[in-house]
Amino acid sequence: MAATLIDGKAFAAKVRGQVAEHVARLKEQNGITPGLAVVLVGEDPASQVYVRSKGKQTVEVGMNSYEHKLEADTSEADLLALIDQLNNDPSVHGILVQLPLPKHLDEDLVINSIAPEKDVDGFHISNVGLLGTGQKSMVPCTPLGCLMMLRDHHGSLSGMDAVVIGRSNIVGKPMAQLLLGDSCTVTIAHSRTKDLPDVVRRADIVVAAVGRPEMVPGDWIKEGATVIDVGINRIERDGKNVLVGDVDFASAAERAGAITPVPGGVGPMTIACLLANTVTACCRANNLAEPEGLTA
């Protein structure tokens, strides 16, 4: 393997350490404990695992974790009433509604009912608009984690050619906005892109966020490019259930300058950035200095 491995697990531990230090300072100097409320509707097994992990890590960095588990058939009115209560609760600085929601609930309506300043997922339409216009916002956690790793590896990203594969609202689009904000020349590729290999071959930075196992082979990667693999795909290999990314790691690592592995790359950064967003939201709510390096 020629590429430098970008260790998301170690990086996430560092971010959590910075968050914990800031939380300790807020408690000591200001008597404030940041609080994160996570709302889970229904019993989707993957969502239950995520929520448990978020709650555990929230407590580990010294913040308060408030978990709200609602029945799968909860009405929209009851869910909106809970969000309204959390919006008005001064001990709650961040609110996250675990997606996907059961089909009878309108996801856009629910997300847009969260107070934008408490929207630590950065999905509220106001935060999307603020990010798009280069203003201070809550930034979606997964792309924020990717940006932190890229900045850490390169220093400045200015003038680099970046290709984001995938145009989802939670990863692809905000990732492209963040790279644009750091003065990259950005191409967003998607399922209708003509000649994807050619587009990817021009990139100094490739962010793959598609959800198709190992769809980007090494010979698409420009020599020395940085590859950030957001994909999480579970496949059967040699009779075992394994996790792979959207990039064929072995062949891409032969050509890339740096690459994130799956697992242990982008994944661990996502929750670390959720904690970072919560402490940022708490500081903003109290007109206090924000922790440095934990926002876009």
- Per CB under 6 A, residues contacting ligand NAD are 142, 165-168, 170-172, 189-191, 193, 196, 209-212, 230-233, 266-267, 270
Q: What are the strands of the beta sheet with 161-165, ordered from one edge?
A: 4-5, 258-259, 226-229, 205-208, 161-165, 185-189
Taking the least distance from each CB to ligand NAD, the nearer of 269 and 281 is 269
Is 54 marked active-site?
yes
Query: At 1, which amino acid appears?
Result: M
Shortest Å, Cβ 202 to ligand NAD: 15
Give the list of residues 6+ apart from residue 294 with CB closer than 8 angstroms, or none.
15, 18, 19, 22, 273, 276, 279, 280
φ and ψ of 186, to 5 deg: -110, 135
Active site residue 98: yes
Annotated catalytic, 136?
no
For helices 8-30 and 266-285, what crossing angle results, to 10°? Answer: 20
Q: Which one from 18, 57, 118, 121 is the annotated catalytic residue?
A: 121
Catalytic residue, chosen from 54, 118, 173, 222, is: 54
Query: Is the CB of 48 or the CB of 168 nearer to ligand NAD?
Result: 168
CB of 45 to ligand NAD, least distance (A): 15
Contacts of 80 (CB under 8 A, 6+ apart): 109, 110, 113
Report the residue number, 18 or 123, with the smaller CB distance to ligand NAD.
123
Q: Which is nearer to ligand NAD, 117 or 229 (CB)?
A: 229
Measure the CA–CA gap between 95 and 121, rounded to whole angstroms.
8
In this chain, which residue has its C-beta nearest to ligand NAD? 168
Question: Active-site residues: which are they?
Answer: 54, 98, 121
